[in-house]
């Protein structure tokens, strides 16, 4: 099997020749460390990962400053596509986040706040060719739409404001989320038109122990909008697989996620939720994507311990397909390069059915 066949087979809950794998993004400090060892900062090609990413192009920096600069009283070092400002922190790549709408006084300000406009072809016209080129190489392709709703919304309003408004001004949240949803529907449709195999959606909605909000609030504010985004993409590409990303423990909303159309849970952090429990309870409908802990074995284990952990995942999760192994987060600076190598080599050696 080639990589694409391997990924599509496991996502159909059938057993491929080998458990597929991919690697997550590298933080800048780790990327430099990796480049010195591997001669490249691209782990996907270097390790021959089965699943590769494509993404929309970002808005030009000058346009972002013109559009959102007036929302930031304090100096910020950069502004993202949604107008959130960032100031550099004191260590590595970490930043302070500065929401632009923390002091609004009326719903009109939310209604008129400028959201990104991706309709110009320059932001998405490359996707079709990139997907086609990766498919020609026998690779599976995932379009990235992470930070789909919740994270964008609270990073615009501020976390405290957004959470309080669930109770005292729910109509403010409804309006903001509806506006974000329309942008996301357009993007999801373009990914589907480009022919991606998997669409990654999601938000960090959980802590290490539990949800950041009640199940009732998640189902009110997020599930129906998520379902509309998924339905819009599948209207164009019915066989599109949907992966949902959330760090932490989202166990309480897994059934609601599946009802919204989610096929794949990512990253299944083993420090927060037991991958075997997820497989046992939902593995007939839900594929697991991730499961290799970046809070535990990858940064702090030995290569031998990483290999043992990967073997355990293979032995307990591979039956019946529905498994893509990957680190559960960006590869942070403290991860030894040899541990990432041990992860990949173990999958390639022991992951066969």
Element (H, E) at 52: strand 51-54
In a domain, 93, yes or no: no
Cα–Cα distances (Å) from 108 to 81, 114, 127, 180, 234, in that order, read 21, 12, 35, 16, 33
Domain count, the chain: 1
Asked, for residue 92, whether it belongs to a domain, the answer is no
Gap between the Cα atoms of 22 and 182, Å rounded:
30
- Report pLDDT digits (tens) over 80-99: 999 999 999 877 788 999 99
Q: What is the pLDDT along the chain (353 residues), one digit of tens a residue?
A: 999 999 999 999 999 999 999 998 899 999 999 999 999 989 999 999 999 999 999 999 999 999 999 999 778 999 999 999 999 987 778 899 999 999 999 999 999 999 999 999 999 999 999 999 999 999 999 999 999 999 999 999 999 999 999 999 999 999 999 999 999 999 999 999 999 999 999 999 999 999 999 999 999 999 999 999 999 999 999 999 999 999 999 999 999 999 999 999 999 999 999 999 999 999 999 999 999 999 999 999 999 999 999 999 999 999 999 999 999 999 999 999 999 999 999 999 999 99
State pLDDT tens for residues 212-262.
Answer: 999 999 999 999 999 999 999 999 999 999 999 999 999 999 999 999 999
**Coil, helix or strand at residue 245:** strand
The confidence score (pLDDT) of residue 92 equals 78
* Whole-number Å distance between alpha carbons of 149 and 130: 26
Q: Which residue has the tokens 């390069």?
A: 337
End-to-end CA distance of the chain: 12
Q: Provide the pLDDT for residue 152.
A: 99
**Residue-level pLDDT at 91:** 75
Q: Is residue 89 part of a domain?
A: no
Q: Which residues of 223-232 are buried (b: 16+ CB within 10 A; e: fewer)?
A: bebbbbbbeb
Q: Tell me the H-state helices in 237-274.
A: 254-260
Angle between helices 28-38 and 337-350 (to 10 degrees): 70
Residue 90 is assigned to a structural domain of this protein: no
Residue 29 lies in a domain: yes
Backbone angles phi, psi at 324, to 5 degrees: -125, 120
Give the integer Cα–Cα distance in Å for 9 and 345.
21
Q: What is the pLDDT of residue 351?
A: 98
232 within some domain: yes
Closest CA to 202 of 183, 229, 182, 220: 229
Annotate 28-47 with b (16+ C-beta within 10 A) or e (fewer). Answer: ebbbebbeeeeeeeebbebb
How many other CB atoms sit within 10 Å of the CB of residue 7? 27
Q: What is the CATH number of the domain that holds 341?
A: 3.20.20.210
- Measured CA to CA, the distance from residue 53 to residue 141 in angstroms comes to 6
Q: Are 233 and 199 in contact (CB under 8 A)?
A: yes
- Residue 213: both structure tokens together: 């909000």
Quick: pLDDT tens for 104-128. Answer: 999 999 999 999 999 999 999 999 9
* Pairing label, strands 85-88, 198-202: unpaired
For residue 268, what are the domain limits? 3-60+116-350
């Amino acid at each position: 099997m080639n990589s694409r066949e391997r990924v599509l087979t496991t996502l159909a809950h059938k057993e491929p020749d080998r458990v597929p794998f991919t690697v997550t993004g590298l933080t800048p400090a780790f990327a430099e460390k990796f480049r010195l060892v591997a001669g490249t900062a691209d782990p996907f090609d270097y390790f021959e990962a089965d699943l590769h990413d494509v993404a929309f192009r970002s808005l030009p920096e000058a346009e972002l400053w013109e559009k959102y600069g007036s929302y930031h009283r304090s100096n910020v070092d950069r502004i993202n596509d949604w107008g959130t400002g960032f100031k550099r922190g004191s260590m590595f790549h970490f930043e302070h986040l500065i929401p632009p709408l923390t002091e609004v006084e009326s719903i009109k300000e939310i209604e008129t706040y400028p959201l990104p406009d991706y309709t110009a072809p320059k932001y998405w016209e490359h996707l079709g060719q990139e997907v086609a080129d990766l498919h020609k190489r026998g690779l599976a392709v995932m379009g990235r739409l992470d930070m789909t709703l919740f994270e964008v919304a609270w990073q615009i309003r501020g976390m405290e404001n957004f959470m309080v408004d669930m109770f005292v001004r729910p109509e403010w949240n409804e309006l903001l989320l509806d506006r974000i949803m329309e942008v996301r529907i357009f993007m999801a449709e373009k990914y589907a038109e480009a022919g991606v195999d998997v669409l990654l959606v999601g938000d960090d909605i959980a802590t290490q122990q539990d949800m950041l909000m009640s199940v009732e609030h998640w189902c009110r504010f997020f599930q129906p909008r998520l379902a509309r985004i998924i339905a819009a993409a599948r209207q164009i590409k019915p066989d599109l697989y949907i992966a949902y990303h959330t760090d932490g423990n989202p166990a309480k909303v897994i059934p609601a996620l599946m009802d919204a159309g989610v096929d794949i849970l990512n990253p299944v952090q083993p420090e927060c939720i037991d991958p075997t429990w997820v497989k046992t309870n939902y593995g007939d409908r839900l594929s697991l994507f991730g499961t290799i802990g970046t809070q535990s074995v990858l940064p702090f284990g030995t290569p031998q311990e990483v290999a043992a952990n990967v073997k355990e995942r293979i032995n307990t999760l591979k039956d019946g397909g529905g498994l893509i192994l990957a680190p559960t987060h960006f590869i942070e600076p403290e991860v030894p390069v040899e541990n990432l190598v041990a992860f990949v080599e173990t999958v390639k050696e022991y992951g066969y059915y």
